[in-house]
């Protein structure tokens, strides 16, 4: 009876700690903390693409990322934000892939990616809690809008496909010629990958972005 009770307490506390740690780590790196010039400079930096070092998200790995962030926060190459109002996603975009970067937000999956140009592919963690990273992506619908910004422009994409693929199907992130977005996260089983795609439908300069759209980036997380 006691072991079962302890497991229940652990799961309850874990359900409280994980969203808190994740949101705290994310907020430190949102676009509102940077100037357009800083984001542009980060885009020019070299970065790491450590696919093999990415593992399942846990409270321990989040704590490790939190500790690392206390030392390396200013070195994180944040290049902008991604916002998906329909599923309450608002995350920083980091140039590169690592366990640390994907604990902060969404990582660019290929070197030399540029918002609004060809296949802009991003990945982040999935966890059994819709408050954490790309976890809510499973609720996205065809026709939903995805917004990206580097504080110079805002790029609007419209979701037109959502599918689960094998982890080996890397063709989904190939550069291609069409201007579109590809969002990738693990399924809950870890055996497949959820891939969401959609074409670029509109681009605004930051100065001419409608106020309600700009508020997505400057107003924090959106209420459902």
Residues that are catalytic? 125, 186
Cα separation, 122 vs 184, in Å, equals 6
Neighbours of 6 (CB within 10 A): 10
Cα separation, 158 vs 120, in Å, equals 13
Cα separation, 211 vs 106, in Å, equals 24
């Amino acid at each position: 009876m006691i072991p079962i009770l302890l497991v229940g307490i652990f799961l309850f506390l874990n359900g409280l700690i994980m969203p808190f740690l994740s949101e705290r780590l994310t907020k430190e790196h949102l676009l509102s903390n940077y100037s357009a010039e800083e984001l542009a400079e980060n885009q020019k930096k070299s970065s790491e693409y450590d696919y093999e070092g990415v593992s399942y998200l846990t409270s321990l790995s989040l704590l490790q990322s939190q500790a690392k962030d206390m030392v390396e926060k200013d070195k994180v190459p944040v290049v902008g934000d991604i916002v998906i109002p329909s599923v309450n996603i608002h995350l920083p975009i980091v140039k590169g892939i690592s366990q640390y970067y994907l604990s902060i937000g969404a990582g660019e999956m290929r070197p030399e990616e540029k918002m609004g140009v060809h296949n802009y592919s991003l990945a982040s963690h999935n966890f059994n809690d819709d408050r954490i990273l790309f976890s809510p992506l499973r609720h996205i619908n065809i026709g939903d809008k995805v917004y990206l910004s580097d504080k110079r422009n805002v790029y609007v994409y419209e979701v037109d496909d959502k599918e689960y693929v094998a982890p080996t199907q890397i063709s989904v992130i190939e550069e291609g010629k069409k201007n579109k977005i590809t969002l990738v996260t693990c399924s809950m089983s870890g055996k497949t990958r959820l891939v969401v795609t959609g074409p670029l439908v509109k681009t605004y300069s930051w100065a001419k972005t409608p106020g309600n759209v700009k508020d997505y980036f400057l107003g924090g997380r959106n209420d459902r």
